[in-house]
Amino acid sequence: MDRIRIIGGARLNGSIPISGAKNAALPLMIASLLTSEGLTLENVPRLADITALLRILSNHGVDYSIDGKRPGAVQTTGRTLHLRAKDIVDTTAPYNLVSTMRASFWVIAPLLARMGEAKVSLPGGCAIGTRPVDLLLMALEKLGASIDIDAGYVIAKAPKGLIGGEIDFPKVTVGGTHTALMAASLAHGHTLIKNAAREPEIVDLADCLIKMGAKIKGAGTSRIEIEGVARLGGARHAVLPDRIETGTYAIAAAMAGGDVLLEGARPELLQSALDIIASTGAEITSTNEGIRVRRNGSGILPADISTAPFPGFPTDLQAQFMALMTRAGGVSRITETIFENRFMHVQELARFGAKIRLEDDAAIVTGVKTLKGAPVMATDLRASVSLVIAALAAEGETIVHRVYHLDRGFEHLEQKLVDCGAQVERLAGQG
Ligand code: EPZ
């Protein structure tokens, strides 16, 4: 397994192109199962999770091709992916494919809506909590599906097609809302989703479904209405920029100091996080090209955060923000309200000399003057990148093990950091 070696201390100066959002690209790719016509997605990032989902979609009968490089395209230009599910050849998503990535469970919605049946293994994914699928299944039942669980598989059936209904989520769920949107688009009649997730990735999926012929109103609010249609057609859609990648590099620049332009980033996708990062002493400005983050000379100020569904502070930036707070001039309190077990990075940050104490659903971070490089390893994607952020500001050498977590969600991470002057290299093989 590859490792990443980082020598801390360099400031970050330069431009970082922001990639297409992983968490938008995944449901968009899954939406290709809803139609026999072609779906073309632009600005798709090169990530292990995308490759894994392509394997799963192929298994259901999706043909795909990826455009070669165009003149002027650089390594970080997003790819264009052509997907076509002319015929669904298999409505089963097996354990060996689904177990590695939770989002792949969402294929249940288009398979059921288009074919009247789906058999999908219960999901796996990052180790950040129990992450049940009860709300996704509740949504499908509200649309008339029968659901059975047998030998680790969910068997969903709606032989006469799905029927519009009212889905009232007791808790905001991104996956539940994606699933409900896709299923209701092909259901007979009207569906109302209450307490829907408002994340930008939901809006991106809804925009694409609308291009495919779906009738959806209210995406981006907590009340979405869908009028089902008999069939959906092909479309072309560009994946929105990755707000979590944007926030991660904004925090990295705030941590290491320097002056970085996050090219193509859109501030409205992560305003609450940008406000908090600015409150720690970084200067953040929006430009025509993206978001500029600067911290020159000033110390890092402490700040309390509590994660929340959009438009609140994203749970997917909690670990990175905690890394920043380890060097703040004071105490900060970081409360995680979305996932019950998303503090796996705490013990790894401690290896750098960080002072963090856990108290129920909060981490109390007492900033220290110096972090020291160390060998570290993380168990999930965002936790791994928090270790990279700590390493950028730590004295000496850090080796980050289990880099495959980073490869799942950060396109060309080392290259983007090296281009801004960081000392980062990938060591192939072993450990
Ligand atoms: C999405 O996961 C993201 N994944 C996650 O990003 C992100 O952390 C999360 O939303 C919250 O923003 C993708 O988009 C691929 P949820 P999802 O359903 O949809 C509970 C990353 O690092 N819940 O909004 O799985 C659940 O346990 C990943 O990129 C139920 O109880 O999250 C959690 O506490 C990690 N029952 C809360 O709801 C259900 O049936 C929110 O989860 C479903 C969810």
Residues 257-311 pLDDT 10s: 999 999 999 999 999 999 999 999 999 999 999 999 999 878 999 999 999 999 9
Query: Are 297 and 195 members of one domain?
Result: no
The residues annotated with a catalytic role in the active site are 126
Contact between 331 and 369 under an 8 Å Cβ cutoff? The reply is no
Which domain-ending residue is among 205, 220, 238? 238
Q: Are residues 197 and 246 in the same domain?
A: no
Give me the CATH number covering residue 358: 3.65.10.10
Q: In what order do the strands lie in the sheet with 375-377?
A: 375-377, 397-401, 3-7, 423-427
The whole model's pTM is what? 0.97
What pLDDT sits at residue 66? 94
What pLDDT does residue 99 have? 86
Cα-to-centroid distance, 102 and ligand 1 (Å): 9
Residues within 6 Å of ligand 1 by CB: 23, 26, 102-103, 126, 129, 131-136, 171, 173-176, 315-316, 338-339, 381-382, 409
In the DSSP assignment, the letter for residue 345 is: H
- 3-class state of residue 27 by DSSP: helix
Q: Which of 102-106, 121-125, 156-160, 216-220 is predicted least confidently?
A: 121-125
Q: What is the pLDDT of residues 195-228, one digit of tens each?
A: 999 999 999 999 999 999 999 999 999 999 999 9
User: Nearest Cα to 253, choosing from 18, 4, 48?
Assistant: 18
Mean residue pLDDT of the chain comes to 95
Tell me, yes or no, whether 98 and 119 share the same domain.
yes
pLDDT value at 313 more than 70:
yes
Q: What is the dihedral of CA 20, 26, 28, 30, to 10 degrees?
A: 160
> Which residue has 């632009």 as its token pair?
42
Distance from Cα 211 to the centre of ligand 1, integer Å: 26
Residue 174 CA to ligand 1 center (angstroms) comes to: 6
> Does 393 share its domain with 331?
yes
Together in a domain, 211 and 144: yes
* 178 CA closest ligand 1 atom index: 19
Q: Which atom of ligand 1 sits closest to the CA of residue 23?
A: 14
Give residue 74's pLDDT band: very low, low, confident or very high (50, 70, 90): low
Q: Under a CB-based contact definition with an 8 Å cutoff, are residues 314 and 343 in contact? A: no
C-alpha angle with apex 367: 362 to 368, nearest 5 degrees? Answer: 140
- In the DSSP assignment, the letter for residue 342 is -
Q: What is the extent of the structural domain holding 201?
A: 22-238
Say whether pLDDT at 72 is over 70: no
Token readout for 32 is 């290709």
Bridge pairing between strands 92-93 and 63-66: unpaired
